[in-house]
Amino acid sequence: MTTSQQKYPEDDNQFVPRRHSMHLVSQVITRISKGAGTGTTAEAWGISRRVVRSWVKAYDQGRLEILPHVHHWDIEPPNGPVSLGICRGCLEEKKFRNHQPGDSADYSRFRMPHPNGKRKK
């Protein structure tokens, strides 16, 4: 009788999402840990509540590790010089400058602003 084939016994209990990335799961859990409801969080991310609840349960059981995330800004429609953006993951708020009429912005190639100004590669 041997147990040498069990290389990672501690992984048996680790939660692994089936159809979503751990980064997404982490943002969902972070948002809920900030006081957001599972219902609104599931809606914001377009995930079923049942799935979100299973993640929360796994997190409560210590089977789910939260990864740091790159903020996922949901920015309100331009209405004035500045729009408020809220991170879908952690509900952090940040103001974004809107393009003014006359800017030579190419809106067809508009990209979401990155919090640090640079994309980590």
Instruction: Return residues touching Zn ion (CB under 5 A).
Output: 71, 87, 89-90
Query: Tokens at residue 79, please?
Result: 């209405």
Question: Nearer to Zn ion by C-beta: 13 or 93?
Answer: 93
Residues 6+ apart with CB under 8 A from 19: none
For the bound state, the minimum distance from the C-beta of residue 2 to Zn ion, rounded and expressed in Å, comes to: 46
Q: How would you label 81-99 residue by residue, b for 16+ Cβ within 10 Å and e otherwise?
A: eebebbbbbbeeeeeeebe
Question: Nearer to Zn ion by C-beta: 63 or 66?
Answer: 66
Find the residue with minimal CB distance to Zn ion: 87
Question: Nearer to Zn ion by C-beta: 86 or 98?
Answer: 86
Point out which residues pair with 85 in neighbouring strands: 75, 94
